[in-house]
Amino acid sequence: MKITDTEKDNAVKRKFSIRAFTPDDIEAVVDMSRIHFPQCSLVSPGYLYETIDELYFKETLKIEGINSLVSVDENEVINGFLGVTPKPYLYQGEKVLGALCNHLMASDEARAALVPMRLLQEFLSGPQVFSFADGSVESTRLLWKRLGGEPSYSNSVYYKVPLRPMSFGTRPFQSHLPSSLRSSIKKISYGADFLFGVARLPLSYRIRPDLTLKPIETDGILTGLARVWKYFKLIPDISKKELSKLFELLDKDPRNGNLHKIGIWNKREVLIGWFIYYSSKGGVCEVMQAVSLPGKEAELFESITWHAFSEGGTELSGRALPSQIGTPFTTKSFSMPGRMWTLFHSKNDEICRALQSDGAFLTRIEGDLWLI
């Protein structure tokens, strides 16, 4: 939305201050979220309230100087917000502190007074060794760059895989149609895809891989992570309790479908990878994490696309790890570099190099969760 000259003048006259986010602010942030983020209107205010409370007050690590932030006017009315969570990491075995920010928003008047930039400035001045944001839009990238940060190009490649081509092809045009017509097109497209699948036409039929796919629990994922983390310099320092709680929050989100955590074992019963994603019958299946041992990316791709297809999904959508670029995740999909941005900021050159290359382990589980 364009900011008018009147709003700019009003913003200049008013005083906006930045302070730490408190539990008393949650209700106002919920109201702002439902205005500024369309996906927040799909869930109840009560769900948003509980999730924000869990993320920023009950379950987050408490580190002095690292807080979620709000902007308030002279009457203590909240007009801006930035969610912040500490993220302990290990860099070549040494503990380092990272911090993630997300859900940046501000009223029109606050934006005219450069409140988003001030919120980011305050965040970046914290005690963390490195800062990052995930799933950021272009305007945030530009602000971030002005503040000395940069995008991680290797961690900003998104992919879309058509699982049912007719449904995939008609989906972009359906949002502007009346609901009755939209429903009819969905049924016709889905029916056509079913017939194409029965006929085993290319792109309309997925063959189950000759691997063992079954649900995997938190202990199994942690075992798998320990095996792949040795290939990275910068890795999350997360406990079983923290990961289990994160899965609980993901599982409670009613917007994206059913959460699956699936392990992949070869014929020798060796875990070669796993994937965590939301299945949505007739909709988009969003990948939160898809990881394999080096050289097993094709098996991972075949497994997750087959599973999402068998669950009735129309398309599979996710963000590729740098090691997955040049594999089927980008060669057999619609690859979209910079669709959204992973951003980072650090004065440590070695960590910057890791974040700009394939040296950092960073998936949507560590970054953009879409929980609010």
Q: Which of 92, 126, 152 is the last residue of a domain?
A: 152
**Which whole number is the average pLDDT over 104-112?**
93
Q: Is 295 in the same domain as 343?
A: yes
Is there a domain that residue 148 lies in? yes
What's the confidence (pLDDT) of residue 3? 55
Is there a domain that residue 368 lies in? no
Give 128's pLDDT tier (boundaries 50, 70, 90). very high
- CA-to-CA distance for 151 and 135, rounded, in angstroms? 11
Query: Do residues 123 and 69 touch, judged by C-beta distance below 8 A?
Result: yes
**Which whole number is the average pLDDT over 128-137?**
94
Query: Do residues 362 and 342 touch, judged by C-beta distance below 8 A?
Result: yes
- CA-to-CA distance for 58 and 258, rounded, in angstroms? 25
**pLDDT, tens digit, 9 for 90 and up, residues 239-268:** 999 999 999 989 998 888 999 999 999 999
- CA-to-CA distance for 143 and 255, rounded, in angstroms? 29
Q: Is 139 in the same domain as 195?
A: no
| Neighbour order of strands in the sheet with 212-215 | 212-215, 258-265, 271-279, 284-292, 315-319, 157-162, 334-337
Non-local CB neighbours of 62 within 8 Å, separated by 6+ positions: 86
**pLDDT, tens digit, 9 for 90 and up, residues 185-220:** 777 777 777 777 776 767 677 889 999 999 999 999
Share above pLDDT 70 across residues of the chain, in percent, rounded to a whole number: 93
- CA-to-CA distance for 289 and 330, rounded, in angstroms? 16
What's the confidence (pLDDT) of residue 6? 55
String of DSSP letters for 151-184:
E-GGG-EEEEEESSHHHHHHHHHHTTS-HHHHHH
What's the confidence (pLDDT) of residue 188? 78
- CA-to-CA distance for 365 and 286, rounded, in angstroms? 12
Q: Is 68 in the same domain as 110?
A: yes
CA distances from 188 to 90, 137, 196 (A): 51, 34, 12
What's the confidence (pLDDT) of residue 164? 87
Average pLDDT, the chain: 90
What's the confidence (pLDDT) of residue 206? 85
Q: Is 313 in the same domain as 347?
A: yes
Is there a domain that residue 371 lies in? no
CA distances from 140 to 117, 124, 137, 155 (A): 9, 14, 6, 16
Taken as a whole, the chain contains a residue count of 372
Q: Is 16 in the same domain as 165?
A: no
Tell me the residue range of the domain where 206 lies: 158-356
Helices of type H across 199-331: 218-228, 240-252, 297-310, 328-331
| Amino acid type, 254 | P
CA distances from 185 to 103, 231, 316, 339 (A): 34, 46, 20, 27
- Whether 101 shows a pLDDT value over 70: the answer reads yes
- CA-to-CA distance for 141 and 149, rounded, in angstroms? 9
Q: Is 181 in the same domain as 308?
A: yes
- CA-to-CA distance for 295 and 288, rounded, in angstroms? 20
Is there a domain that residue 365 lies in? no
Q: Is 66 in the same domain as 80?
A: yes
Strand partners, 279: 258
Is there a domain that residue 361 lies in? no
Q: Which of 152, 180, 213 is the last residue of a domain?
A: 152
- Whether 300 shows a pLDDT value over 60: the answer reads yes
Helices of type H across the chain: 5-13, 26-36, 45-53, 108-112, 115-124, 138-146, 165-174, 179-198, 218-228, 240-252, 297-310, 328-331, 349-356
pTM, two decimals, is 0.89
Share above pLDDT 90 across residues of the chain, in percent, rounded to a whole number: 73
Is there a domain that residue 87 lies in? yes
Q: How many of the other CB atoms lie within 10 Å of CB of 148? A: 11
Strand partners, 318: 159
Best CA proximity match to 153, nearest among 354, 337, 347: 337
What's the confidence (pLDDT) of residue 316? 96
- CA-to-CA distance for 45 and 113, rounded, in angstroms? 28
- Whether 371 shows a pLDDT value over 80: the answer reads no
Determine which of 54-58, 193-197, 276-280 has the lowest per-residue pLDDT on average: 193-197
- CA-to-CA distance for 185 and 191, rounded, in angstroms? 10
Is there a domain that residue 66 lies in? yes
**pLDDT, tens digit, 9 for 90 and up, residues 148-180:** 999 999 999 999 999 988 877 777 666 666 777
Non-local CB neighbours of 311 within 8 Å, separated by 6+ positions: 258, 260, 279, 280, 281, 285
Specify the higher pLDDT residue, 1 or 259: 259
88: CATH: 3.40.630.30
- Whether 134 shows a pLDDT value over 70: the answer reads yes
What's the confidence (pLDDT) of residue 15? 83
Q: Is 130 in the same domain as 198?
A: no
- Whether 7 shows a pLDDT value over 60: the answer reads no
What's the confidence (pLDDT) of residue 38? 84
Q: Is 109 in the same domain as 136?
A: yes
- CA-to-CA distance for 356 and 249, rounded, in angstroms? 29
Q: Is 213 in the same domain as 305?
A: yes
Residue 195, both tokens: 């017939």
**pLDDT, tens digit, 9 for 90 and up, residues 219-234:** 999 999 999 999 999 9
Specify the higher pLDDT residue, 152 or 58: 152
Specify the higher pLDDT residue, 97 or 164: 97
- Whether 12 shows a pLDDT value over 60: the answer reads no
Torsion of CA 219, 220, 222, 225, to 10 degrees: 180
Q: Is 112 in the same domain as 174?
A: no
Q: Is 209 in the same domain as 229?
A: yes
Is there a domain that residue 330 lies in? yes
Q: Which of 152, 172, 194 is the last residue of a domain?
A: 152
Determine which of 45-54, 89-98, 170-179, 236-245 has the lowest per-residue pLDDT on average: 170-179
Q: What is the domain count for the chain?
A: 2
